[in-house]
Structure 1
Amino acid sequence: MVRNGGHLLVECLIALGASKSFGVPGESYLAVLDALHDTHGKLDYVLCRNEGGAAFMASAYGKLTGSPGICFVTRGPGVTNASIGVHTAMQDSSPMILFVGQVGTDMKGREAFQEIDYRAVFGTVAKWAVEIDDVSRLPEIVARAWTTALTGRPGPVVIALPEDMLTTLTEAAPR
């Protein structure tokens, strides 16, 4: 089945057992928001007023349920607002996955609007920070993030989602 990266990401999370997510809507991950629209009762999206609050909610959810708390934020100021929640999740050993919108791959390294190097920023605060660079690897990376957040000492994982990776069509299947 052909689907875009945003739909594939949501299907992967559902397949892994995610049932709730937290976030502040942002234009940098519209394809994910579109995919979440039809998941009522499977993967609910809790609308938050501030990215920091969303990250704290995801961290608390992970701590209380033992399943990774899922958080979606937009790039730049959105993710920097969420960073304190990521730090708290690390300090509290709470499993959490923070998905962050990112500039398209064609704009990387050009100081595009609100561009941040997420591996550099979160490399010492999260268990793993990664950026999707091939839409067909989305299932592999999401599954690894889920496992990483839960194994050993639980903690947060940060996944950057370039806009074009979310809109690109793929035949990759969720796992």
Structure 2
Amino acid sequence: MFRTAAQQILRSSRVRWCSGFAWLMAGGASFLVVGCSSEAALPKQHLVEWQAERLLFVADERSGSIRAFSLATTAPTPLAFAPSPRRHSVRALALDAEHGRLWVLGGEQVEVFDARRLRSLGQQPAEGARALRLDGGAVVLLADDGHVLGRVEASALRVAAEGVPTVTAAAPY
């Protein structure tokens, strides 16, 4: 009889302890979910795929860095990395496959890269631009509401200084 009563007490205290622990864990989990659910805290990655060349470009919204990956193998292979000495963020990417150019809209400027080597070809101020659209060999800069702020021709961009490395190669092409 003593053993049965002791087992009942243990069982009931286990149930209380387990249910209390479950409530605590559920509360903690919901706190974690609420704490981690903010999409604004997550950096946005801009992706552009060049299917003909089997390349993928990834730009980090916060850091402004751009990476190129080869999709020629079963897993993406890093090819090149363009650090962000002038870009403090990336708002948009656009690939001009016909001319082999990658257009990058940063916080205050638009920059064009040789897409095959991820080498900067030049940049132009683009204050107020929030998006870009390809138009032939040029890019059209757009405001938040979609109205056109300007058009930038690749030939009109300021050329990056010779001898200044703009790309750190991760692997040869």
Same-fold status (TM-score > 0.5): no
The structure that has the greater radius of gyration is 2
Instruction: Give the TM-score, by structure 1 length.
Output: 0.24
Question: Which structure dedicates a bigger proportion of its chain to helix?
Answer: 1
Instruction: Give the TM-score, by structure 2 length.
Output: 0.25
**Higher relative contact order by CA 8 Å / sep ≥ 6: 1 or 2?**
1
